[in-house]
Amino acid sequence: MLGLMILLLGLLYPLLITGIARAAFPSKADGSLIGVGDTLRGSRLIGQQMDGPEWFHSRPSATDYNTLPSGASNLALTSRALYDKVEARRMKFIVDNGLEADTVVPAEMLFASASGLDPHISPAAARMQVDRVARARDFSQAQRRRLGELVDAMTEGPQFYIFGCARVNVFMLNLALDKL
């Protein structure tokens, strides 16, 4: 019975489900991988670290964007370590983007997601980074406007129009930014 179950559930069932997924959703079954030319750039489903001032920045990752030990920090809201991390992230975001000291920084730029790999930020967080990206790339005023329009164009609505909030996939936004 054990051998039969291993064969059935350990081999045949995964092969069947993988075959169905590849037939019905080929891109998703392969991890939603994105390539530019012959170069694999990443997955639209996984956040990536882009630190330079010429890029839009993703939300922080508790695992430094490593997919193997993905997860949250598990620090409690009353944790002094979490408070210090959040405050450091808030000040870095404000300084990096040339914002006023009392600017309210969107929560996703302060806290890591539960998986540590979420590729999305809010449109507000993306718009707060537009001037920094434009300065770093030495964009003209017209290009700055196009950059703002790009953020709007890359904004996705709530899933199925009811679940979640509007969001911007930072990885996809940075790929589109390279085309400007």
Q: Quick check: 151 and 168 in contact, CB under 8 A? A: yes
Alpha helix locations (H) across 25-140?
A: 26-29, 80-96, 123-127, 130-136
CA dist., res. 18 & res. 21, Å (int): 5
Q: How confident is the model at residue 56 (pLDDT cuts 50, 70, 90)?
A: very high
| Bridge partner list, 172 | none
CA dist., res. 47 & res. 64, Å (int): 10
State the chain's mean pLDDT as an integer: 89
The residue extents of the domains of the chain are: 1-30, 31-178
User: For the segment 113-171, what is each residue's pLDDT rounded down to a tens digit?
Assistant: 877 788 899 999 999 999 999 999 999 999 999 999 999 999 999 988 899 899 999 99
Higher pLDDT, residue 173 or 31? 173
What are the tokens at 75?
Answer: 């620090």
Higher pLDDT, residue 33 or 86? 86
Q: How confident is the model at residue 44 (pLDDT cuts 50, 70, 90)?
A: confident
Q: How confident is the model at residue 70 (pLDDT cuts 50, 70, 90)?
A: confident
End-to-end CA distance of the chain: 60
Whether the CA torsion 72, 73, 78, 84 is positive or negative: it is: negative
